Structure 1
Amino acid sequence: MDLAKRRASLDEAMDARGDWPERSPWLREAVSELPRDLFAPTLLWRRDGHAYVPVDRRTDPEGWAEELYGSQDAPAVTQVSGGQPSSSLSAQGVVVDMLDSLRLEPGHRVWDVGGGQGWNAALAAWRAGPGRVVSTEIDPELAAFARDRLATVGLGVEVLTADATTTPPDGGRFDRVIAAYAVERVPWTWIEATRPGGRIVHPWGRLGHVALTVAEDGRSASGRVRGLGRFMADRNDPVPAAFPAQRRGPADVRELVARDPAPLHDDRDLRFALRVAVPDAVLATGHDEHGATVRVHDGAASWASFSAVDGGRTVLRQGGARRIGDEVLLAWSQWESLGRPEPGAYGLTVTGEGQFAWLNDPHGGVRWPSGAPAPDGRGATVRAGRPGS
């Protein structure tokens, strides 16, 4: 197992695709000095088509290295709970993109939220300086692992075992906050813990990440979508419900729609726009002999299915208390009428009363409410993702 060769190969792949950001040249040097294998456990996990199976460094070193360095777009699963991934080393390209979005400078005080194995915290400390980064991890075993690895590289990162959604570290406000797990609501705790003018980079609804800047009065934070990527969910959020059974009922509707459902499967810009406009819609896509098939549900009991038929048409079936298929079609038409905007044109604003998504302009552009307020009245639900400027 030649890890140096694999590191160099991934470095070159990122260089060839332009993934090393010109604005943050320090990142390439930091990744070289603190490669991800220093923070990887002995067991990684690979999906074999049916389940996640362990890849042991001691018995399969090449397979283990492939999980880490096979692609700049692939995370390395480091923990599986209940048959599903519960922690990972994020894809190297995503980590670099998020740290670039953070606009991190030497001397900044940084809160690393959801520390995992400690790699993000190490890279941030390389830039900010020893003793300038505090990392919070809710899982005691992960926190202990990160604490050990970070002590080895000697950057003075403090690792706390705590719930970062509700509990900020002591010691005053931070210049930068970066999170490694996806939140449906941005915790107001993060805004309060960041100084006015400070920056918060976090995954938004498992689709991508957004960079927020805290207003000078500290009463809101706003910013654009900066990158795409899937992330682990906040462990405090409910697990998305399984698709409800599509039982026939008296209120069910079947109709022929003059749309090909293929874009719901293939067009990531459209899929992103749907998640903004219908944030509780969960889509699953596939193909049959006629073309694309799409199922949608709302996490409760309402469902819809889109099935391609001849002539670029679709059979739409839907049932339950709401017509979620119609909501998807309406949002699809709205996206087209707005000029098919890319995810980077969207943004998020968070206040003490809730949050909303917007297009192009947080003040005068199109807005989408983001669901009911959180139980404490602070924050709401929005999902997002993809590159912005």
Structure 2
Amino acid sequence: MADEDLAGRRARLDAEMERCGAWPAASPWLRGAFTALPRDAFAPDRLWRWDNRAYVPLDRSADPEGWAAELYSGIYSAAVTQLDGGRPSSSLSAPSVVADMLDSLGVEPGHRVWDVGTGQGWTAALAAWRAGPGQVVTTEVDGHLADFARTRLAAAGLDAEVTLGNATRSGPPGAGPVDRLHATYAVETVPWSWVAAVRPGGRLVYPWGRLGHVALTVADDGRSATGWVQGLAQFMGDRHGPAQPSTGSAAFAQVRGDTAPEARQALDRDPQLLDDWDLRFALRVAVPDAVLLTARDDDGLNAWIHDGTRSWATVTARGDGEAPLLLQGGPRRIGDELVAAWTRWEELGRPDRYDYGITVTPDEQWAWQGGPQGPRWPIAQAAPAGR
């Protein structure tokens, strides 16, 4: 693809970010960094596009227009760069999300930054552009990706160190704490080694499980970190962490199998709210292993819920003024759990996603609403400090 064509796509991306208010006002440097370090400079020559059945390759040499269209498909769209067993294992994150997370990170010139999950090296490059030469170290578990990122960072003239290792299970390379930690893959529980790697008063920004990203500030005594939810981005999970339930429709069919419902009742509320992302985030907090899918038909909104193993529920719209039907099966009543969490959300005044946060200590971590002393929900037990 000609350079002028890519330049046009970059300009359109910039304009779309401006039109949608996606350039963070508190971090004007990001717009200049995106211009100096365009997305295509860190993209491999093969991308992968979902065709509603499987991921199909888009090779830059064979289809430069298709490759560029996938890479610049919109400010809210990631570009898949690698598959493992037919499923995405690496991507260039959506531009709006990259800007949002780096804004939340609060990188300043001279900050030492640990970028966890290098991928193609784009976020490490943007952080290095801001922090300065020799201030960014980035860790990648995949040797091929580490080599690729190292090459692209060097081509961009950036002095950033790429190390190979499993950042979930180890501390940062080099001596001394870092000022900022930025993770590009999702974890449900924050490794305490990440908190310990950041100086008191420093910040960590990371994707939280299947939905949401969070910015934590390390306490002055270094014995905890706490902070607010920043947005609802979805990221790929830790390759070596606990398996997360699949979010695709096929996963629900696999969990339910051919089993008949064991419980049936009318739902005493409007299922339309299941398309409200503030409610969906509250459900994610309260029932973190529940996968929720929705779709509309002529009768209204329908939902499919499962826990990735054996329990499932459906909400079926019936039209003609009839209450929707809640059907459930499996060893737990996961539909009842979601309804209880829904009721609690309403009792709390229907808080939005930004009214939630997380606190992490060496031995436990929890989500909270309204402030660290407000209602709380435990997160899966963290590994003890020092393990």
TM range (shorter): over 0.9
- Measure the CA separation in 2 of the matches of 1:248 and 1:227: 37
Which of the pair has the greater relative contact order for Cα pairs under 8 Å at 6+ separation?
1
Matched, 1:377 2:384: yes
Unpaired runs of 5+ residues, structure 2, are none
1:213 to 214, 217, 241: 217
- Counterpart-to-counterpart distance in 1, 2:230 and 2:324: 34
* CA distance in 1: counterparts of 2:259 and 2:7, whole angstroms: 58
Per-residue deviation, 1:378: 5.6
Deviation, 1:43, is 0.3
Contact 1:125–1:155 (8 Å) recurs in 2: yes
Q: Counterparts of 1:248 and 1:56 in 2: how far apart (Å)?
A: 43
Residue in 2 aligned with 1:332?
A: 342
Partner Cα distance (1:138, 1:161) in 2: 6
Query: Any conservation in 1 of the 2:256–2:311 contact (CA below 8 Å)?
Result: no
The 1-side partners of 2:385 and 2:240 are apart by 16
CA distance in 1, matches of 2:103, 2:155: 25
Contact 1:270/1:332 (CA < 8 Å) preserved in 2? yes
What per-residue deviation string (whole Å, max 9, x for no partner) do you get for residues 11-65 of structure 1? 0111112111111111111110010100000001111111111111111111111
CA displacement at 1:247 relative to structure 2: 4.7
2:361 is aligned, of 351, 354, 369, to 351
Which residue is 2:185 aligned to?
181
1:62-115 CA-partner distances (Å, limit 9, x unpaired): 111111222111111101111111100001111111111011100000000001
1:204 corresponds to which residue?
208
Q: Secondary structure at the match of 2:317?
A: strand
- Please give the alpha-carbon distance, in whole angstroms, between the structure 2 residues aligned to 1:370 and 1:226: 18
In 2: Cα distance, 1:79 partner to 1:343 partner: 31
Please state whether the residue corresponding to 2:324 is helix, strand or coil.
strand
Answer yes or no: is the 8 Å Cα contact 2:192–2:384 preserved in 1.
Answer: no
The answer to whether 1:46 aligns with 2:49 is: yes
Displacement of 1:180 after TM fit? 0.5
* 1:287 is the counterpart of 2:296: yes
Alignment partner, residue 387 of structure 1 = none
**Shift of residue 300 of structure 1?**
2.5
| Equivalent of 2:281 in 248, 261, 272 | 272
Give the whole-Å Cα distance in 1 for the aligned partners of 2:278 and 2:56: 33
Matched, 1:302 2:311: yes
Moved over 3 A (4+): 246-249, 376-379
- Which secondary structure does the structure 2 equivalent of 1:347 belong to? strand
Pick from 254, 263, 267 the counterpart of residue 273 of structure 2: 263
Distance (Å, rounded) in 2 between the aligned partners of 1:193 and 1:272: 29
Give 1:122-271 correspondences, 5 Å limit: 122-168=125-171, 169-237=173-241, 238-240=243-245, 242-243=251-252, 244-245=255-256, 247-248=258-259, 252-264=262-274, 266-271=275-280
Q: Deviations over 1:242-296 (max 9, x none)?
A: 33125547x91111222232322x2111111100011111112223443222121
Change in CA separation of 1:200 and 1:320 when aligned onto 2, cut-off 3 Å: same
Aligned to 2:75: 72
Structure 2 CA distance, aligned partners of 1:232 and 1:11?
25
Aligned AA (1:92): P
Partner of 1:385: none
Shift of 1:147: 0.7
2:256 aligned counterpart, secondary structure: coil
Residue equivalent to 1:386: none
The CA distance in 2 between the partners of 1:377 and 1:306, in whole Å, is: 40
Does residue 88 of structure 1 match 2:100? no
Q: Deviations over 1:300-344 (max 9, x none)?
A: 322211111132511111122221111111111111121111101
> Does 2:40 align with 1:33?
no
**Contact 1:101/1:226, CA 8 A, preserved across alignment:** yes
Whole-Å Cα distance in 1 between the matches of residues 307 and 117 of structure 2?
A: 28
Number of residue pairs matched by the alignment: 374
Maintained 8 Å contact 2:306/2:312: yes
Calculate the aligned-residue CA RMSD, in Å: 1.6
Instruction: Work out whether residues 115 and 139 of structure 2, in 8 Å CA contact, stay in contact via their aligned partners in 1.
Output: yes
3-state SS of 1:30 partner: helix
2:316 alignment partner, SS class: strand
C-alpha distance 206-378 of structure 1, shift in aligned 2 (>3 A): farther
Q: Does the C-alpha gap of structure 1 residues 46 and 153 become closer, same or farther in structure 2, counting only changes over 3 Å?
A: same
Within 5 Å, which residues of 2 pair with 1:99-138? 99-138=102-141
Shift of the 153–289 alpha-carbon distance from structure 1 to 2, 3 Å rule, reads: same
- Counterpart CA distance in 2 for 1:112 and 1:145 is 16
Asked whether the 8 Å contact 2:200–2:222 carries over to 1, the reply is: yes
For residues 246 and 33 of structure 1, the distance between their equivalents in structure 2, rounded to whole angstroms, comes to: 51
8 Å contact from structure 2 (residues 142, 164) kept in 1:
yes
Match of 1:4 in 2: 7
Identity of aligned residues (%): 60
Kindly indicate whether residue 315 of structure 2 is the aligned counterpart of residue 320 of structure 1. no
Task: Report if the CA contact (8 A) 1:354-1:378 is conserved.
Answer: no
Answer yes or no: is the 8 Å Cα contact 1:260–1:308 preserved in 2. no
Mark the CA change 1:246 to 1:293 in structure 2 (over 3 Å): closer, same or farther.
farther
Contact 1:348–1:355 under 8 Å retained in 2: yes
TM-score by length of 2: 0.93
